Amino acid sequence: MRAGAGGAAGAAARELDAARGRVREAGGEALLARLEHLDAARVAPAPRTGLGRAPRPPDRGAAADYDVVIAGGGLSLLLAPMLAAAGLRVAVLDRARIGAAHREWNAGTAEVEALSASGIFAQGEVERLVVARYVEGLCRWHGGGTYPVRGVLDHAIDAGGLLAAARARAEALGVTLLDGHALLGHAEGPDAVALAVAEARVGAAPRDLSARLLVDARGAASPYATADLVCPTVGGVLAGLAEGDGERRIRPDVGEILATTEDVEEGRQHLWEAFPGRPGETTVYLFYYARSGDVGPGALLSLYARFFRLLSRYKEGDARLVRPTFGFIPGWSRLSAAPRAPGRRVRLVGDAAARHSPLTFCGFGANVRELAATAADLARAARDPGAPSAARDAPVHSGTGALAALMARPAGGARAGEMNALLNTAFAVLHAMGDDAYAALLRDEMQPGDFVKFLRETAARRPEVYREVVSALPLRALGRWGAGLARELYRAR
């Protein structure tokens, strides 16, 4: 018995080692270190105060080095050239290289249009960054049906090219770029905020900067990224998948938005997605929804082990990992307190703020659609930190968060098939409601009235949903859900 357990543990350790080796082989030592850093951060989150090293707060009347410092040069790098174009002195810092995307992004027409309108890119540049377009997308449930949808997530974007172009534009507009600089802590004074920054270079001394406004764009790594849900995601760009018709083949003109290949295992409902990109390449992800507190250290590496073990169950072919991409995407259910900035001179953006859909976790899409509004908001706050934020929350999020919370704690054992059955019913209803409603939900645009209709129809077809929701959500969360929906319905009248 003990030998058997030891054997199982040994096999699991070997599988993790193999996964580590495959990420290293495809992405290099630095990318593996990034994965391990993200995984380790789940064990010791930065203190709530964010003060890994506290600088002295600037005195009253102190002049700031910059109007805005953006800490985190991932997707939020897009804000830098927009703020610089508005006449602000801007710096961006990142613990790694600024604008080095470790993501692949799929998006819809609204996002492509928002990028084109941002003023960051040259004429026709955004079109060139679209590496594939799909005639439709689909969601498919294990033991259930396949539900096609049009007009959503139907573009694959060259994420590396997009951020490289934003970086070049930022540089051209005089933005200071501090690659390899981590934000350790900050302290707010009456007229500026002091930042303690450490350079990754060996022997480099920590130094302090100051800004009128700190934009926390550290994503899931921000100490203020307190959203209650999280979506651990692994995968990357694969070559060699079999193309053609049939569930286990890739069609270059179809995006697979959500798909399951088994019921709940290890307490999780795992989901796949597959987005064809450049000819012969497809981005494939494996992910699950979880409550933040349920995801411990090593989550990404063990998800990678599962990814390599079960990929062939999802898609046929001689798959080769070309570029690994991974991360934790925070999600806020709207059933608990929102992530909040610690002061007047700090604003949270992107994943740290987690204002995107808690159901689709499409942070790229949501942030890009709000790009102009966010940049205007930040420019106002840099000049007047007391200015209220004009950030909007899509009404549908007050409804979808409860569904995401439900998915984050699915029933196992004899009820392990219930999640797929529920998803199958819900997507059958969406499909029957028509493409406009179905796509609107995935684009965060569904109106509260339609959302309630969708819930009613789903419950009519699957009455067990009442028990499932009540057993998964504490009473208080149920109350917040009902109140949030009622508020949005009232507003929409």
Ligand X SMILES: Cc1cc2nc3c(=O)[nH]c(=O)nc-3n(C[C@H](O)[C@H](O)[C@H](O)COP(=O)(O)OP(=O)(O)OC[C@H]3O[C@@H](n4cnc5c(N)ncnc54)[C@H](O)[C@@H]3O)c2cc1C
Residue 108, CA distances (Å) to 37, 179, 217, 315, 366 in order: 32, 31, 23, 24, 10
Q: Of the two residues 317 and 350, which places its CB atom closer to ligand X in the complex?
A: 350
CA distance 220 to 38: 9
Q: Of the two residues 360 and 425, which places its CB atom closer to ligand X in the complex?
A: 360
Give the Cα-Cα-Cα angle 124, 99, 94 (nearest 5 degrees). Answer: 155
Q: Across the strands, what pairs with 239?
A: 281, 320
Tokens representing residue 201 in the block: 């270079």
CB of 329 to ligand X, least distance (A): 5
CB of 76 to ligand X, least distance (A): 3
CB of 466 to ligand X, least distance (A): 32
Q: Of the two residues 144 and 350, which places its CB atom closer to ligand X in the complex?
A: 350
Q: Of the two residues 378 and 473, which places its CB atom closer to ligand X in the complex?
A: 378
Which amino acid is residue 447, in one-letter code? Answer: Q
CA distance 4 to 52: 44
CB of 364 to ligand X, least distance (A): 3
Half-sphere exposure of 55 (CA within 13 A, CB side): 23
CA distance 232 to 310: 17
CB of 208 to ligand X, least distance (A): 14
355 Cα distance to chain centroid:
10
Q: Of the two residues 140 and 218, which places its CB atom closer to ligand X in the complex?
A: 218
Nearest to 142 by CA among 250, 302, 315, 270: 270
Residues that bind ligand X (CB under 6 A): 71-76, 93-96, 103, 105-106, 182-183, 217-219, 221, 233, 325-327, 329, 350-352, 362-365
Q: Of the two residues 73 and 189, which places its CB atom closer to ligand X in the complex?
A: 73
Q: Of the two residues 121 and 481, which places its CB atom closer to ligand X in the complex?
A: 121
Burial of residue 251 (CB within 10 Å: 0-12, 13-18, 19+) is middle
Q: Of the two residues 137 and 144, which places its CB atom closer to ligand X in the complex?
A: 137
Q: Of the two residues 229 and 352, which places its CB atom closer to ligand X in the complex?
A: 352
What is 154-185 written as a DSSP string?
-EEE-HHHHHHHHHHHHHHTT-EEETTEEEEE
Q: Of the two residues 84 and 411, which places its CB atom closer to ligand X in the complex?
A: 84
CB of 224 to ligand X, least distance (A): 12
Burial of residue 384 (CB within 10 Å: 0-12, 13-18, 19+) is exposed
Tokens representing residue 260 in the block: 């399951």
Which amino acid is residue 307, in one-letter code? Answer: F
- What Rg value do the Cα atoms of the chain yield, rounded? 22
Q: What are phi and psi of 199, to 5 degrees?
A: -90, 140
Q: What are phi and psi of 90, to 5 degrees?
A: -125, 140
Q: Of the two residues 306 and 480, which places its CB atom closer to ligand X in the complex?
A: 306
CA distance 77 to 93: 9
CB of 106 to ligand X, least distance (A): 4
CB of 230 to ligand X, least distance (A): 10
CB of 247 to ligand X, least distance (A): 21
CA distance 152 to 452: 21
Q: Of the two residues 151 and 417, which places its CB atom closer to ligand X in the complex?
A: 151
Which amino acid is residue 181, in one-letter code? Answer: H
323 Cα distance to chain centroid:
18
Position with the least CB separation from ligand X: 363
CB of 39 to ligand X, least distance (A): 13
CB of 474 to ligand X, least distance (A): 27
CA distance 162 to 90: 20
DSSP H/E element including 326:
strand 317-331
Q: Across the strands, what pairs with 216?
A: 71, 348
Tokens representing residue 476 in the block: 């208080």
Burial of residue 4 (CB within 10 Å: 0-12, 13-18, 19+) is exposed
CB of 66 to ligand X, least distance (A): 15
